Amino acid sequence: MSNYPKPINRLIEALSYLPGIGPKTAERLAFHIVSMDETKVNHLITALQDSRDKVFECSTCNNLTDKDPCTICQDESRDSNLICVVQDARDVTAIEKVQDFQGKYHVLQGVISPMEGIGPDDLNLKALMDRIQGEGITELVVATDPTVEGEATAMYLNKLVKPLGVRVTRLAYGLPMGGDLEYADEMTLQQAFEGRKEL
């Protein structure tokens, strides 16, 4: 690495901050950037500056946004009584792609994980409780990941919120569509049996 001109070395180092980019890939990217069209490099620099300066968390739901409150929180055609609780901002987009959910969101920015030292106090729970008490929420759909941590968080939320008279639901478990039953893991298959529905 020390053989490269200093600016290239620094670029390689900075690119290595990114997830999944090791030193070899960073090297390849850096050399591509150096020989890239200058307008494209400028575009990349401006995009980085803008995402540093203009993206922040919505003060209501904690989703990433460039205006406050975010477009979803501002959308009056949405059902304000229905809130979907997700782990992070990318989950909001995943659900929005389905174009089916008509409520609003709340981004926890994490899940309870004793292994990583993340407790309930580290999540955006206070803001959620304020919304529940202030906005007259009737149903909370807990859409945390189907993992041990996601489950624990869902349980915790249920305990916390149900006493307030709010319905707390969890996304269904079962076989993923288009999948192959033969390859489903035991946990999923068990959940699919438990959740079976009459036709």
Burial class, 33, CB count within 10 angstroms (exposed 0-12 / middle 13-18 / buried 19+) = middle
One of 23, 24, 41, 79 touching a second copy (CB under 8 A): 41
Tokens describing residue 32? 């591509």
Segment lying near a second copy (by CB under 8 A), choices 16-24, 76-84, 152-160, 179-187: 16-24
**Residue 93 within binding range of a second copy, rule CB under 8 A:** yes
Q: Which stretch binds a second copy (CB under 8 A): 86-94, 130-138, 146-154, 186-194?
A: 86-94
Site track 160-189 with a second copy (rule: CB under 8 A), x = hit: ------------------------------
Residue 38 touches a second copy, criterion: CB under 8 A: yes
In whole angstroms, the minimum distance from the beta carbon of 197 to a second copy comes to: 30
Shortest CA distance to 83 belongs to which of 15, 177, 13, 161? 161
**Residue 12 to residue 31: CA distance in whole angstroms:** 9
Q: Which of 74, 76, 96, 156 binds a second copy (CB under 8 A)?
A: 96
* Residue 159 CB partners (closer than 8 Å, separation 6+): none
Q: Tell whether residue 196 is a contact of a second copy (CB under 8 A).
A: no
55 is a contact residue toward a second copy (CB under 8 A): yes
Residue 103 to residues 62, 98, 122, Cα–Cα distance (Å): 15, 13, 25
Q: Binding of a second copy at residue 19 (CB under 8 A)? A: yes
Can you name the residues that pair with 64 across neighbouring β-strands? 57
Is-contact 72 92, C-beta < 8 A?
yes
With CA atoms as reference, report the closest residue to 127 among 153, 110, 106: 106
Q: What is the binding site for a second copy (CB under 8 A)?
A: 3-8, 10-11, 13-15, 17-21, 25, 27-34, 36, 38, 40-52, 54-55, 64-67, 70, 88-90, 92-93, 96-97
